A and B are shown apart, each in its own frame.
Chain A
């Protein structure tokens, strides 16, 4: 189990979180240097960038990482369990990264903050964090599933990937805005429905991927 976690960390979590951190750092650096418009476009894109990175590395893990691990004698149960654990850990780390980055403008006293959209909301409304977490988890689950689809059913895999990329930015927006907005308007049902859908899809993708891992072979 430990070996699988170390492997997953190295192949998925570290690169995804690492590049996200780099992106966040770069965008903050742009803010400190004062080029507001440049900064804004990078900065507000952070959640989307994280989503894409989590998706892509999760896909690459199921496409090549799983079979590599199996050929070196890893147990399927350990792999599946470490994927679930690793994705959860990845979610927490990336949410923390995103939220902390969102707090910086306030701490640095930057005045343009009302144009920071999604990131601003994240910094003032903790209600949106769980939803963001679900989006990050879904990104990994969908990515993993897309990865394994690419192995057997290339067309379906491509469709899923295209679908996800098309929806990704919308998802991030919705996930962050809706719960926050719900505080002020009687939109009661929508957030709950959204939680259920995102959560349900995440679980579905994780289950399907886990099931595939448990039956995976190296020919």
Chain B
């Protein structure tokens, strides 16, 4: 396993996530080709089947599509789809853990909300 992959979550999920991040960052634009499963396998020293699983996940989500005989391409509107997906997961992945952590630190709900507001302001 190479480079930026970790053993903290399943590899195919990391592959999918990485490709999603790349799409959001503009590394791959709409209608551009993404690396093939073999290229990904070579780059990260992973089994091609694992890479394929990650790609298929994105195909299932409509983020990528297949052009027969050529390869995998970024779907039109993929960026939006990824954002939607992440927004939907945002509550479970970030908000809930935040609240749980807050609770274990004995912060009141109001204190939490104040903190969130403050951070939001800093961001602007």
Direct contact of A and B (CB under 8 A): no
